[in-house]
Structures are given as C-alpha cells and as structure tokens.
Amino acid sequence: MDSKNNPQILLDRIYRTVITSHKAPFTPSLFDGSLSETLFVTCFDYICNNEEASETTISGISNLFNYLQESLQNRGVFHTFYSGTYGALWLLKYIEKQTNFIEIDEETNSIFSNYCLKSAITNFKEGHFDLFIGGIGNSMYLLEAGEAENFSYIENTLYRNAIKNSKGNLVWLSQLLDGSNERGEYLGLAHGAASILVFYTSLSKLQKNHPDLEDIWDKIIKNILSHKRGNNIALFPSQVSKNSQYQNERLAWCHGDLGIAAAIFNAGVNFTNEEWLTEAYDILHHIYIKRTNLEENGIYDANICHGAAGVAHIFNKVYQYSKIPEFKAATDLWIEHTLSFAKYEDGLAGFKTYDNEKGLVNSTGLLTGISGIGLVLLSYLYPETVNTWDRCLLLS
C-alpha cells in the first residue's frame, strides 16, 4: 500500500506535525485553535503511547488550566462553546474522565458547574439554543460530568421555549444567522433541531425514569422528518422559514442530511426504537448511493465539518453499532476520499483546508483541520478503544 494511502502512516504523520509544528499564540477555541490540538494529542497519547502523556499534552493541559483560571476571574469576552470558556471546560472534563492525566477537585467542579448552569438557563430563556454559541454549548460540561441534579431545570426551561406546530410537533425558533433578521428553524446538528434531539438523548442517560422523554423525542423527530423531500439529492434543507427555499445542501456534519441521520440514529439506539433506526439507515443509504460526486456535494477537502472525514466518521459510527456491510463499504470509501486529500507539498501532513474567501489554507483545527482528521483516523483504526471524543460534536 502506498504510504499516502495508509491511514496509520498518515495518522502518525499528523501527530508528528502537530507536536513539532511552530506554535502560534494560545487560542481558546475547541474547534479551531490550540484546544483542538490538545484534544487530538491527548487522545493519541492515551491510545497509542500506552497512556503516557507527552510534553505536548502536558503543556496543552497547563495552558488550558491557565486560560480557564484567567477567564473565569476576568469574565473574558470569548464565552462560547465554539471559541472560549465553555469549550475549554468541556475539554477539561473530557480529559479527566477519559484519561488518568488530571483530576478536578470537588470545589472546582462545583464552581465550573454553577457557571455553566446559569449561562445555559439564560441562553435558553432568550431563545439561544445553538451548540456553538447558545445554551446547548453552555451545557456540555454538565453533560460530560453526568450531573443529573442540574438538568431538571435546564430541561424544563428548554421545553418551555418550544412551540407546538399545527401537527403537534415540537419546534424551536431562533434568529437566523443569514443576515435576514428573520426567525426560523434550523434542522442540523450545529445549530438546530438535530442538536436539540441529541441533547434530549443525552439527558435520557442521566434521567432514566423521565416519563416524557420518548414523547419529546417523537415530536422532534416527526417535525424534522416533515421537512424531508424524497425527490431531492439533498433530503433536508438546512433551515426552514417563511422565505426559505428547498435547495440542495452540501454534505456536511453541521447542516443537512448527514447530521440529521446521526441524531436520529443516536435516538434510535438509546431508546431501541427500530422505526427511528430504519429512518436513519434510509437517509444514510441515500447518501451512500446518491451523493457520490464530491464537488456536487461541496466536498473540497478532508475536514470534519463539511469534508470527507466527517462523512467517513458518521458512517463508521453507524457501522460499529449496526454491522451493516453497506455502511462498512461507505466508511472505507470515505476514508479513501479523506486520504486522497493528503496531496499538498506545503500542507500539514499533506492536507489543506478549503476556505471560501482565502482558498486553500493550513489548519490544525478540529472542525476544519488535521486535528479533526487525526481523530477520525484514530476512531477508524481503533474503534473499540477511542469512540467518545466526538461528544463535543453531538455524535456520541
């Protein structure tokens, strides 16, 4: 096998690139900065280096602690899950739970939890449900910590901000981010209904005897599926409003078919609901059979957010549970597509990211760079060992 088509060789190359590349100033972004590198290197060290933390991991965790201490004291401006305190808090809790590298004392954990709880409640009350910049992102530390006692109030606040449409299904409206000043509904994982579905799925693991959760899931899923258009290449739009048009959407984790299938799949697994699982499998079958042209589906690089690695990872997650051969074939196909983008002499480990304004650029980020690609390859090569880092993407 050509070395550039060998996933283990490329994974090792990504690791070496991340730990040896010139370090830019610390940036507190879980998805596109220093924290992306810390997540990848920590997972790699734990899986591939016999649970021994490298100097890069130790340095990354130290920077993470220092940032959180300063941020919480000074109430800095970057208080979002995408880029700031809440993403950093989730990463700290994830590292504590998944490795033996750190331990958070009870008093510190209480401070972090109260901070996240207050912010989540405020955002939900104001109609900000977003993973990146809203209440769901604020809650991710609490979900990772498994603190069931904090979620009754959060769940009630979120539910009270939903509306029932004419069909009795649950809808959460928010300000659209397209500059239209219009309120509407997002359907995907990054901003919309699919993220709320996964949020409730995660709550069910903490509130096992909650009498209404299955009904809530059902009303969310029925609302999402009501927007399905079987005659389109893309089955779902990214947003729904009075002025929205049903157009073919790019194949991506953040919006559209792929993330919606992942969210419905997770709900089906959690509640052992064959109807929901079948619906998720049908969407993924459609993607595998019909959405094969990379450029037509907006696949211009290997990243997680809207590149080949994100498609490969979701197919891999579903295959590991279902063992459906078609999804194994789809996983291998999209891994091949991912590896094929490692072709740039001036890229990071051969990879570059396509930016709409700048063209091809280098990135070490989780969503759009080699840290994310490396984590996808880790999950592909070691499926029984590393499979939870993607909770920050609402995929576990």
3-state secondary structure the chain: CCHHHCHHHHHHHHHHHHHHCCCCCCCCECCCCHHHHHHHHHHHHHHHCCCCCCHHHHHHHHHHHHHHHHHHHHCCCCCCCCECHHHHHHHHHHHHHHCCCCCCCHHHHHHHHHHHHHHHHHHHHCCCCCCCCCHHHHHHHHHHHCCHHHHHHHHHHHHHCCEECCCCCEECCEECCCCCCCEEEECCCCCCHHHHHHHHHHHHHHCCCCCCHHHHHHHHHHHHHCCCCCCCCCCCCCEECCCCCCCCCCCCCCCCHHHHHHHHHHHHHHHCCHHHHHHHHHHHHHHHHHCCCCCCCCCCCCCCCCCHHHHHHHHHHHHHHHCCHHHHHHHHHHHHHHHHCCCCCCCECCECEEECCCEEECCCCCCCCHHHHHHHHHHHHCCCCCCCHHHHHCCC
- Half-sphere exposure of residue 260: CA atoms within 13 angstroms, side-chain side: 31
pLDDT recorded at residue 245: 61
Alpha-carbon distance of 382 to 47, in angstroms, equals 8
Q: Cα separation of 164 and 170, whole Å? A: 5
Task: Find tokens 């509130």 and name the residue.
Answer: 207
Note the pLDDT of residue 350: 97
Answer yes or no: are the C-beta atoms of 253 and 266 closer than 8 Å: no
Burial class (CB in 10 A: 0-12, 13-18, 19+), 105: exposed
Alpha carbon distance 392, 396 (integer Å): 8
Q: What's the full length of the chain, in residues?
A: 396
* Alpha-carbon distances, residue 367 vs 37, 96, 376 (angstroms): 11, 22, 11
Q: pLDDT tens digits, the chain, 396 residues: what are they? A: 455 689 999 999 999 999 987 677 788 889 988 899 999 999 999 988 877 888 888 988 898 888 888 877 776 556 799 988 999 999 999 999 988 888 999 998 999 999 999 999 999 999 899 999 999 999 999 999 987 777 888 888 999 999 999 899 999 998 887 767 788 899 999 989 999 999 999 888 777 666 688 889 999 999 999 999 887 899 999 888 887 665 667 899 999 999 999 999 999 999 899 999 999 999 999 999 999 999 999 999 999 999 999 999 999 999 999 999 999 999 999 999 999 999 999 999 999 999 999 999 999 999 999 999 999 999 999 998 867 999 999 998
Q: What letter represents residue 192's amino acid?
A: G
Q: What is the pLDDT of residue 246?
A: 55
CA distance 387 to 171: 31
Greatest C-alpha distance within the chain: 57
Structure tokens at 331: 């996983």
- Output the pLDDT for position 340: 97
In angstroms, the CA 104 to CA 195 distance is 28
Q: What is the pTM of this model?
A: 0.94
Predicted local distance difference test score (pLDDT) of residue 2: 58
